[in-house]
Structure 1
Amino acid sequence: MNKIIVSVSNDLSTDQRVAKVCNTLVNGGYEILLIGRKLSDSKEIHRNYKTKRIKLLFNNSFLFYAEYNFRLFFLMLFLKKDILLSNDLDTLLPNYLVSRFQGKKLVYDSHELFSEIPELVERPFVKKCWTSLEKWLLPKLKNTYTVCNSIAEYYNERYQTNFKTIVNLPTQKQVEKGTLPFETADKKIILYQGAINVGRGLELMIETMQFLPNHVFVIIGSGDIICQLKEQVVNKKLNDRIFFMGKITPNELHKITPLADLGISIEEDLGLNYRFALPNKIFDYIQAEVPVLVSNLPEMKKVVQQYKVGEIVLNRMPEKLAKQIIGLTEKDFSAALKKAKTSLIWENQEEELLEIFRSCN
C-alpha cells in the first residue's frame, strides 16, 4: 500500500478540502499521514487515517513560516512515504526538498493564488519573497491541481505548468437542521461562513444591516478582523441583529447552514486571488439548499448563472444592496437548488483526483 504524507500549515480541524482529499485517497487504497500544526485552541479530531500536529514556538509572522517549514522538512525526511502532497505555497519548499533529496513523488494542491492574497498587497517585500518562491518551484512540478479553472489557467500560462482543476465541492449530504444558540424573532437569516479576513465584504454587510430591520446576520468563523467587526457592530448598535458564532466544527456547521434564508459570498476585488476565487462556502450553501448572493467576479458568477441558485451583487452601496437582499429572500430558488446540489458534489470528481495520484511521476 502506497503511503502519502499530506501537509498543511493549519491545525487540521476545519480544513474540509484536505479532509475530503484524504478520505478519497484512503478509499482509493492509500495509507495517509496528515501533518499540520497545533494551536492553543485546537480541537480534538478523529479521522480514519493518521494525523500529527506540530507544536510551534511561533504562530505568526516570518518566524512561524520559518519554524514550521524547518520542522516539517526534518519530520518528513525521516518518515516512510511514497508520495508527498503539499497544500499551498507555505508548505511547498520542504516538500520539494524532501522529494528531490529522496527521489519521492510530489503532488501539489494550490487552494488559492497564494502570492496574490490581499494580506500581501501592502507588504511588497513579503509578496516578492512568495512570488520568487512560486516562480522558482512551480515550473519544476509535474503533478499539480487547484480549485478553479481561472487559477489553473493563470499558472499554466505564467509558468508553463499543467495544473488540473479539482473544485472544492462538498460531499453529498441530506439537509439536517439544528438550532441557533440565540433568538432570531422570526427574522430572515443571512449567513456568512468562512475566514474573517480583509476583503470578504463583511464590513459592507454590517453597514447594509442598518437597512434590513427584518433580517439577522450570522457570522461563522474566525480571523484577523473579528475584533474590528465586533466594534463596528457595537458602534452601529446592531448587537441584536448581528451574531458571531466563532469557529465551529464541520459537523456543527452542516446543521446550522440550512437554517439560513440566504448565504453570502461578496468578496471584494482585491487582486487576482479574490478575483479568481471560488469559495467552498458557495457550494456548502447550495448543498444545504440555501440561495446565494455572490460578487460580480468570474468564477462565482459563473456558478450562479449556470445553476440559477441566487443572484450576483448589482451595487455595493449599502442601501441598494439591502434592497436587492430583500427582493432575493422573497424569491423561491428551491427547485434550482435541489437540481444543482446533485451535480455540485465531491463524489463526481473523485476519480479525476485519484487519477492524478495513480499517474504521478
Structure 2
Amino acid sequence: MKKVCVLLNKDLSHQTRLFRENETLVKAGYDVSVVCVSEIPGKPKQEKQNGYAVCRLLKKRLYKYHLVSLRLLKSFLKVLTSHPRADYVHVHDPPVLLLGFLLAKFWKARLVYDSHEWWDALFQEEQDRLNNGTNMTPAQRRKKLGQLSWMRRFESWVLPHCDAVIAVNDSIGQHMQAQAPKPLKYYATIRNFSPYQQIERSNRLHDHFNLPAPTKVILYQGQIARKRGIDKAVEAIEHLADVDVVLVLIGPVLPADEQFLQTLLTRIEASETLRDRVFYKGFIPSSELLQWTASADLGLQPIINTCMNHYLCLPNKIFEYIQANIPIAASEFPELRNIVENYKIGFVFDPENPRQIAQKIRQFFDSPELKQAYLSNLQRAKQELCWETEEQKLLDLYAAIG
C-alpha cells in the first residue's frame, strides 16, 4: 500500500478540500497521514479520523512568508523521526512547500503541490503594502521584503520540480503555469466541489427568524469579513424597501474582522429599513449547513475585486448553493460568471453597485418563470459539478505520477 504524507501549516478544521481529497485517496487504497505543523489547544497531537492519521507537531505555525526558519528545521526533524517514509508528499500552500520539498528529496518521494490560491499574487500584494508604508522601521521593512522576495522566487522555481501541481480553478492555474520558468511535469485543475446531495427544501430560516411564509430569503454564507461585499449587499437591501425580502448572513468571523461585524450590526440596528430585514446567524457546522441553505430563495456571492485572488475566486459557497438547489447571484468575475451563466443558474452583477444588485434581485423575484428555469438547470449543475465527478482528476494524477 503506497503511503501519502499530507502537509499543511494549520489544522484540519474547516478544510473541506483536504477532507475530500484525503477520503478519496483512502477509498482508493492509499495509506494517508496528515501532518499539521501547528498544534491546536485541546486537540490531541496524534489521532485517527475518517481512515487516516493526523499528527500535530509544534505550538506555532511556520512563518507565512518566511522561507527558512528554526521552526522549519524542527518540523523537518520531527517528521523524519516520527513518520514512516512516504511515497508521496502532498503539500498544501507555500508555507510548507520547502518542508515538503526537503522531505520528498530525503524519501525519494513524489512531490504534489496543491495551491489553494494564487500565491504569487498574494506575495506581490504584500510587497506593495510594505512599500506603500507600514509602522515598520526601514530595516524591518527591508528584512520583510527580502523574505517575501525569496519566498516568491522559491515558489516559482519549485513549480517545475514538483511531480504534480494542482490549482483550484483554470484561471489561477493558467497564471501559475505562466509564472513557472519551465513547463510543469503534470498539472491539474481540481475544484472544491461539494459532494452530490439530495436535499429537500426546508423552512429553517423562516422558522428561526420568525419570518412570514411569503417572505423571500437572500442568503450569504461563508466567512464574515471585510472586502467580501457584505456591506454592499446590506446597502442593496435598503433599495428593496418595497420588496418582501430579507438578507441572512451565516458564517464565522475571525478576530481581525470582529469590529467590522459589530459596525455592520450597529448600522443594521440603527436603520428602520434594515432592522427587521437583515439577520446574522453565526457559524453553523458543515454537517448541518446545507439544511439551512436549502431554505433560502437566492444564494449571494458579492465579493469585491480588491485583489487578483478575489477577482479569480471560485468559493465553496457556490457549490453549496448548487447542491442546496438555490439560484445564485454573484459578482461578475471570470470563474463565477463561467459557472453561473454557462449553466444558467442565476445572474451576475457589479459588486460595487448596490443599486444594480437591488435591481437584478428585483427582476429575479418579479419573474417566477426565470426562477423556475434556474431551478430546472440546477439539476444538471448538481450532477456535473459535484465531488464524485471531480475526484477522478485526483486519482488520475496519482496514477500518472506513479
Does residue 158 in structure 1 map to residue 179 in structure 2? Answer: yes
Distance in 2 of aligned mates of 1:221 and 1:257: 15
**CA separation of 1:134/1:312 partners in 2, compared to 1, >3 Å: closer, same or farther?**
same
Deviation digits for residues 89-123 of structure 1 (CA, Å, limit 9, x no counterpart): 22211111111123121111111112324973524
Determine which structure has more spread, i.e. the larger CA radius of gyration.
2
Label 1:272 to 1:6 Cα distance change in 2 as closer, same or farther (>3 A).
same
Q: What letter is aligned with 1:122? A: R
Distance 1:52 1:247 in 2: 26
What's the TM-score, normalizing by structure 2?
0.80
Provide the rounded CA distance (Å) in 2 between the counterparts of 1:14 and 1:239. 31
Instruction: Report Cα offsets for 1:210-261 as digits up to 9, x if no partner.
Output: 3344312223133332431221221342454433333332202122221221
Q: Which amino acid aligns with 2:197?
A: K
Q: Distance in 2 between the 1:246 and 1:38 partners?
A: 25
Alpha-carbon deviation of 1:85? 0.6
Q: How far apart, CA to CA, are the structure 2 residues paired with 1:254 and 1:272?
A: 29
For normalisation by structure 1, the TM-score amounts to 0.88
1:7, CA displacement in angstroms?
1.8
Instruction: Select 1:141's aligned residue among 162, 187, 190.
Output: 162
Partner letter of residue 232 of structure 1? L
Once the two structures are TM-superposed, the CA of residue 201 in structure 1 deviates from its matched residue by 1.4
Distance 1:46 1:190, change over 3 A: farther
1:59 and 1:329, CA in 2 relative to 1: closer, same or farther beyond 3 A? farther
In 1, the alpha carbon distance for the partners of 2:78 and 2:278 equals 44
Match of 1:174 in 2: 198
Which of 174, 179, 185 is the matching residue for 2:211? 185
CA offset at residue 24 of structure 1?
0.7
Structure 1 residue 122 and structure 2 residue 129: aligned? yes
Moved more, 327-336 or 59-68: 59-68
Sequence identity percentage: 28
Tell me which moved more, 249-258 or 112-121: 112-121
Q: Which amino acid aligns with 2:51?
A: N
Q: Which shows bigger deviation, 270-279 or 114-123?
A: 114-123
Per-residue Cα deviation, 1:163-212 (whole angstroms, up to 9, x for no partner): 21111111111115473484151332222222334432122223223334
Greater mean alpha carbon deviation, residues 173-182 or residues 280-289: 173-182
- Are 2:65 and 2:151, in contact at CA under 8 Å, matched by a contact in 1? no
Structure 2 SS opposite 1:284 = helix
Name stretches of at least 5 consecutive residues in structure 1 with no aligned partner: none
CA contact (8 A) 1:84 1:95 kept: yes
Of 322-331 and 141-150, more deviation after overlay is shown by: 322-331
Query: What is aligned with 2:2?
Result: 2
Structure-2 separation of matches of 1:65 and 1:320: 48
Higher mean displacement: 34-43 or 84-93: 34-43
- Going from structure 1 to structure 2, the CA distance change for 1:64 and 1:107 (only over 3 Å counts) comes to closer
Look up the equivalent residue of 2:194 and give its one-letter code. P
Deviation at 1:45, TM superposition (A): 9.1
Residue equivalent to 1:326:
362
Over the aligned positions, Cα root-mean-square deviation in angstroms equals: 3.0
More divergent stretch after superposition (264-273 vs 58-67): 58-67
Mean Cα displacement is larger for which, 220-229 or 102-111?
A: 220-229
Query: How far 1:52 moved relative to its partner?
Result: 2.6
Q: CA deviation at 1:14?
A: 1.1
Which moves more between the two structures, 110-119 or 2-11?
Answer: 110-119
1:277 is aligned to 2:313: yes
Q: Which runs of 5+ in 2 are unaligned?
A: 132-144
3-state secondary structure, aligned to 1:225: helix
2:113 matched residue in structure 1: 108
What CA distance in whole angstroms lies between the structure 2 residues aligned with 1:141 and 1:204? 41
Give distance in 2, aligned partners of 1:329 and 1:12.
39
Letter in 1 for 2:236: T
